[in-house]
Amino acid sequence: MTAMCLAHVVAAPRVLMRHLLTLFDWSTDTIRDVYARSAALKEAFGRGERLDRHPRRVCALLFEKPSLRTRVSFEAAMTHLGGSTLYLGNDVGWGQRESIADFAAVLGNYVDVVVCRAFAHERVELLAQHSAAPVINGLTDSFHPCQALADLFTLQEHFGSLEDVTLAYVGDANNVARSLAVCCARLSVRFCLAAPKPYQFDEPFLERLREAFPQWRLEQTEDPYAAVADAHAVYTDVWTSMGQEDEREVRRQVFRPYQVNQSLMEAAPTYAVFMHCLPAHRGEEVTDEVIDGARSIVLVQAENRMHVQKGILDRILGQDES
């Protein structure tokens, strides 16, 4: 991957891009620009440099669900860039003590950017609608755009380019799968989902994809072996996402044939890597042997969350620089 010089990316003309909610509203150029920033910042970090690009900028983290990676990688990223963070958790009463509109209008005047993790996607949309500060979706029941951006960046690093790359996602068509599909569509990466029919992408989402990306085709199958046959990456996520705990037993039964184990990895090409957004439910969607095996790049994915989020913050906060 070619790392762009930061002095150059800052001087380049930018299309106004305020929020990051789903990736449907981000262009391919915007993603490529974020990747160039991420690569440059990652390289600098590797040399021991923590570039003070956003001193005294403040990022608020508003989280309704638990988080390790998203929370800590944003906090570390913001600190490395010279700014600071406020972890608000879920005790500030947004939509409870006062309306989301009033809450957003006030919060957006205190901070420069808000990262929000919520159950209902509509809450993040409402926050963005009323916030003076840009809002970044840190996961909702419907989407996880920061995860998908980091994952495609990781694949680009691993294979040198995303050209002719195929990603096979084996498991629930959840928030992570949706964002991966949108990001793959944006970057022209082939995407195939293997899941039992009732757990595949729903028609409204498929329709939205068809409308936004008429040239791009998503494949869905019930056969995990067919899905991975020509994959560069075999990706899975938990069968039971946060908020679905009541369905755990049913899901464990239904998804059992979709476990990513040695036998499934052997059906993929030898160059295929294993990916997972983490946290994993070991022994359910993936075996220890696969997640700890030589083909697993899950820790690189997790590390890249921080580097790519620096790229995202740099792009969003950098808009005021020129």
277 near ligand NVA, rule: CB under 6 A: yes
Nearest distance, CB of residue 174 and ligand NVA, angstroms:
5
85 binds, among ligand NVA, ligand CP, none (CB under 5 to 8 A by kind): none
Q: Which amino acid is at 205?
A: F
286 near ligand NVA, rule: CB under 6 A: no
178 binds, among ligand NVA, ligand CP, none (CB under 5 to 8 A by kind): none
Q: Quick check: 181 and 213 in contact, CB under 8 A?
A: no
Nearest distance, CB of residue 279 and ligand CP, angstroms:
6
Nearest distance, CB of residue 38 and ligand NVA, angstroms:
19
Quote the CA–CA distance of 293 and 298 in Å, as a whole number.
10
Binding mask 122-151 for ligand NVA (x = CB under 6 A): -----------------x------------
301 near ligand NVA, rule: CB under 6 A: no
174 binds, among ligand NVA, ligand CP, none (CB under 5 to 8 A by kind): ligand NVA
61, 167, 176, 187: residue in contact with ligand NVA (rule CB under 6 A)? 176
241 binds, among ligand CP, ligand NVA, none (CB under 5 to 8 A by kind): ligand NVA
**Helix pair angle (175-186, 28-46), 10° resolution:** 100
Give me the catalytic one of 178, 305, 307, 315: 305
**Quick check: is 292 catalytic?**
no
**Collapsed DSSP state (helix, strand, coil) of residue 304:** helix
> What are 203's two structure tokens?
């028609």
In this structure, the strands spanning 190-194 and 273-276 are: unpaired
Q: How far is CA 229 from CA 167, 178, 183, 226, 292, in A?
A: 11, 21, 22, 5, 21
> DSSP secondary structure string, 67-130?
-SHHHHHHHHHHHHTT-EEEEEET-S-BTTTB-HHHHHHHHHHH-SEEEEE-SSHHHHHHHHHH
Quote the CA–CA distance of 131 and 128 in Å, as a whole number.
5
Residue closest to ligand NVA when measured from CB atoms: 241
64, 237, 284, 285: residue in contact with ligand NVA (rule CB under 6 A)? 237
Which residues lie near ligand NVA (CB under 6 A)? 139, 174-176, 237-238, 241-242, 277
Residues acting as catalytic residues = 117, 144, 147, 237, 277, 305
